[in-house]
Copies of this chain bind each other. A is one copy, B any other.
Amino acid sequence: MKASHRRRAILVSAAPIFNRRGFAGTSIADILEATALEKGGLYNHFASKEELAVAAFEYAFDEVQAYFRDALARRPSGYARLVAFIDAFEHYCERPVVAGGCPLANAALEADDALPFLRERVQAAFRDLRDAIVRDVRRAIEKHELRGVDDAESLSDLLIASLEGALLLTRAMRSRSHVRRVAQSLRVMLSGMRA
């Protein structure tokens, strides 16, 4: 196996462990057990637990992005893609792309106070997600698909916040009903803004 393949195989095993247990809750011993590697074998690829955690977050975020890219493929930009995003997020809550829930939400709340080395990466990931939504809101306004929206950033923040918050509720309450209700409310809201 080439080094790059071995590196990727480590991340495939490590990402769900970090995502479920958090950075502080994951030990190098957990990773060695999951990858069946010796310490030296792991350190050939990653110099420290921090470096491995950042790479595992990047890998998890890439998987999340690929999931949404697939779900939104062939949808025209603008209104149709916003609705497709809501549908895809509802499904994403119910069946996480990486075991343990949303890596952005998990890493955001662990990194905010405690993990400076991860914070910037989490911030960049949220920025990417938000930029994509802002683009589709702007496109929907340009295409005259939405009316009465004078602030694309506000609508984008409301969409992302309510969906990430619905995921939080769903995981805390162990019931999918919360994300279903929130997604439905957002669909009704967007449809009410339909020009």
Is there an interface contact between A112 and B108, defined as CB atoms closer than 8 Å? no
Is there an interface contact between B169 and A164, defined as CB atoms closer than 8 Å? yes
- Closest chain-B Cβ to A90's Cβ sits at a distance in Å of 12
Partner of A20, one of B25, B104, B113: B113
Complex: how many Å from CA A86 to CA B27?
40
> Which chain B residue has the least Cβ–Cβ distance from A189?
B189
Query: Chain A 105-127 against B: per-residue CB contact (8 Å), 1 yes, 0 no?
Result: 11011101110000000110011
Oligomeric state, in number of copies? 2
- Closest chain-B Cβ to A89's Cβ sits at a distance in Å of 11
Is there an interface contact between B168 and A161, defined as CB atoms closer than 8 Å? yes
> Which chain B residue has the least Cβ–Cβ distance from A99?
B113
Is there an interface contact between A168 and B114, defined as CB atoms closer than 8 Å? no
- Closest chain-B Cβ to A171's Cβ sits at a distance in Å of 4
On whether A161 and B157 interact (CB within 8 A), knowing A24-B21, A25-B22, the answer reads no
Residue ranges of A at the interface with B (Cβ–Cβ < 8 Å): 20-25, 99-101, 104-106, 108-110, 112-114, 122-123, 126-127, 130, 151, 153-155, 157-158, 160-166, 168-169, 171-174, 178, 181-182, 184-186, 189
A-B CB contact pairs (8 Å), 21 listed: A20-B114, A22-B22, A22-B110, A24-B24, A24-B25, A101-B109, A101-B112, A105-B109, A112-B172, A123-B174, A126-B173, A130-B169, A154-B182, A154-B185, A157-B178, A157-B185, A158-B182, A161-B163, A161-B165, A164-B168, A165-B168
